[in-house]
Amino acid sequence: MTDIRVNIASKFYPAVGRAGQHLAISNLNLTLKVNEFVCLLGPSGCGKTTLLNIIAGLDNDFKGDIFSGQRHSVPKIGYIFQNPRLLPWRTVRENIDLVLGDQHSPAVVDALLEVMQLTQFQHVYPERLSLGMSRRVAIIRAFAVDPDILLMDEPFVSLDAPTARQVRELLLALWSERPHTVLFVTHDLREAIALADRLVFLSAAPMSFISEVKVPIDRTDRHNEGVREEFRRQLLNDYPLIKTLL
């Protein structure tokens, strides 16, 4: 495992129809340490998904490079998209098994299903799942490949608050059991404080780095909402600019 370095000089979207060329990202440098949980915060439409797609190798049309050490030429990716993106014609179990090789151990998947409380739903087709359950399947799928980096693109958006909290807690349980480098995109500061080791604030398009803050709250104190709120107030006080971003 090595740190992952992201250097993007520029990313343009070509002109289509009446919309002119669009500069989505400009001069963005980011280093993700091993097993670090980083939250990216920025206004909606600032290019966060574009950034994740570039790191995931889905978008190669940019200037810059993604460096992930010598272990693989390309880092192994676990990507939790904004929508769950499960294959509707495969069961929960099949969806997870498919991203793994032919010789994976079923025990790994069993354990993940157990943690995410989906064991009894493993042979169900995704259309019968609630959104919260589908998102949990997507999380399992991403963890199952044992990735070098886990990308999460607002995975809890459009969940109701209690479900979002439940899935968030399950995610944290899973992550503390099997730590991975995580890049988590959100525009919810409370969510970011509950999850991250480090917050990175990004500007509106063209996206660039504004500032970063370490979350000093110990993992054992994260469940304490009072402590989190206190830190949030402090943060907004110290960086009034944040309010305009979110």
Q: How far is the CB of 183 from other proteins (least distance, A)?
A: 13
**Nearest residue (CB) to other proteins, 109 versus 215:** 109
**Nearest residue (CB) to other proteins, 65 versus 169:** 65
> How far apart are alpha carbons 57 and 37 in whole angstroms?
20
Q: How far is the CB of 86 from other proteins (least distance, A)?
A: 8
Cβ-in-10-Å burial (0-12, 13-18, 19+) of 87 comes to exposed
The token duo for 71 is 């272990």
Q: How far is the CB of 102 from other proteins (least distance, A)?
A: 10
> How far apart are alpha carbons 67 and 29 in whole angstroms?
11
**Nearest residue (CB) to other proteins, 9 versus 98:** 98
**Nearest residue (CB) to other proteins, 100 versus 159:** 100
Which residues sit opposite 20 in a β-bridge? none
Q: How far is the CB of 55 from other proteins (least distance, A)?
A: 10
Residues 198, 204, 206, 212: what is their CA dihedral angle, to the nearest 10 degrees?
A: -20
Q: How far is the CB of 140 from other proteins (least distance, A)?
A: 13
Which of 129, 59, 130, 145 is CA-nearest to residue 96?
145
Strand order in the sheet with 77-80: 77-80, 149-153, 181-186, 37-41, 198-202, 209-214
**Nearest residue (CB) to other proteins, 53 versus 186:** 53
**Nearest residue (CB) to other proteins, 9 versus 74:** 74
**Nearest residue (CB) to other proteins, 62 versus 81:** 81
Q: How far is the CB of 150 from other proteins (least distance, A)?
A: 12
Residues 239, 240, 241, 246: what is their CA dihedral angle, to the nearest 10 degrees?
A: 100
Which of 102, 96, 100, 130 is CA-nearest to residue 115?
96
Secondary structure, 3-state, 55-89: HCCCCCCCEEEEECCCCCCCCCEEEECCCCCCCCC
Which residues are near other proteins by CB under 8 A? 53, 56-58, 77, 79, 81, 83, 85, 87-90, 98-99, 125-128, 141, 145
Unique residue bearing structure tokens 């995580």: 182
Q: How far is the CB of 4 from other proteins (least distance, A)?
A: 15
